Amino acid sequence: MKTALTFASLALASLSGAAVAQTTLFEQLPILDNIISSDSSGSDENQRIADDFVFGDAVDVTSIQWWGAYTPLGTDSAGLALDDFSITIFSNGTNATGDVPDQIVFQSSASVTAVDTGDDILGLVDQFLYTATLDTPLTLNGNERYWLQVLNNTGLGAGDPPGSWGWEVAGEEPNGFFATRSGDGNWSRATAGTAALAFRINGSVVPTPGAAAVFGAAGLVAFRRRR
């Protein structure tokens, strides 16, 4: 019996090990077509944008990545020294315009690394890939809509000419991104049409207790049959 229990424990450990393997949980890839200002001290400092995402299962998020660039022309990599990103995840709400960000479920001024991808957006400005690694995994529910906002604070709006950091788009999709002005603080569907923002969420799927129990029982049965 002691050996059988050990075998079952190893089966559970194997399942747990598979669950913690890091993988891409959600992504919308950039298309080198445009950027949307998301800079609290940029040339469009009152604009806020966010995009929605849904997981099929509960997950533990460990890192978030996104693509963007700096304007005006010539700012490029010099803007990296001005980066001061904050990341916010909202729950989903609704208003007259449809699904919109609602309550804050996560907010962090994260330490962010940036890499020049070697591509140019519209053939004009350097594209950068940014990565924020969370200090502790963030658990989010499956089949529940969330919203991601990435906001920089570069101070480029005080330049001559004024500039900004922009979040890169990833093509069109039904829900698009949403924008708000600080005058009323209300989220509404962007009037410029539908678009997706380029980002990727990494982490692991959270195993359900039922699945772990079934896996362990199956391992125990297999061991007994071999005996």
Residue 171 pLDDT = 83
3 state SS of 179? strand
Q: Which two tokens stand for residue 201?
A: 């969420």
Burial 134-155, CB ≥16 within 10 A → b, else e? beeebebeeeebbbbbbbbbbb
CA 76, CA 2: separation in Å to the nearest integer? 63
E runs forming strands in 55-184:
59-71, 86-95, 98-108, 112-121, 125-140, 145-151, 164-168, 177-180
Contacts of 94 (CB under 8 A, 6+ apart): 100
Q: How far apart are CA 23 and CA 202, in angstroms?
A: 6
- Note whether 68 and 168 are within 8 A (CB): yes
Helix, strand counts (H, E) of the chain: 2, 13
In whole angstroms, give the CA distance from residue 207 to residue 99: 29
CA distance 59 to 67: 22
- pLDDT at position 217 is 47
At residue 69, what is the residue type? A
The domain ranges of the chain are 21-207
| CATH of region 21-207, choose from 2.60.120, 1.20.120, 2.40.50, 1.10.3470 | 2.60.120
- pLDDT by position in tens, the chain (length 227): 322 322 233 333 333 344 456 899 999 999 999 999 999 999 999 999 999 999 999 999 999 999 999 999 889 999 999 999 999 999 999 988 888 999 999 999 778 999 999 999 999 999 999 999 999 999 999 999 999 999 999 999 999 999 999 999 998 776 677 878 766 788 887 655 677 999 999 999 999 776 555 545 444 444 444 45
Sign of CA dihedral 209, 144, 88, 124: positive
What local confidence, expressed as pLDDT, does residue 176 receive?
Answer: 73
| pLDDT of 191 | 57
Decide if 119 contacts 33 (C-beta within 8 A).
Answer: no
Specify the pTM. 0.82
Q: What is the pLDDT of residue 81?
A: 94
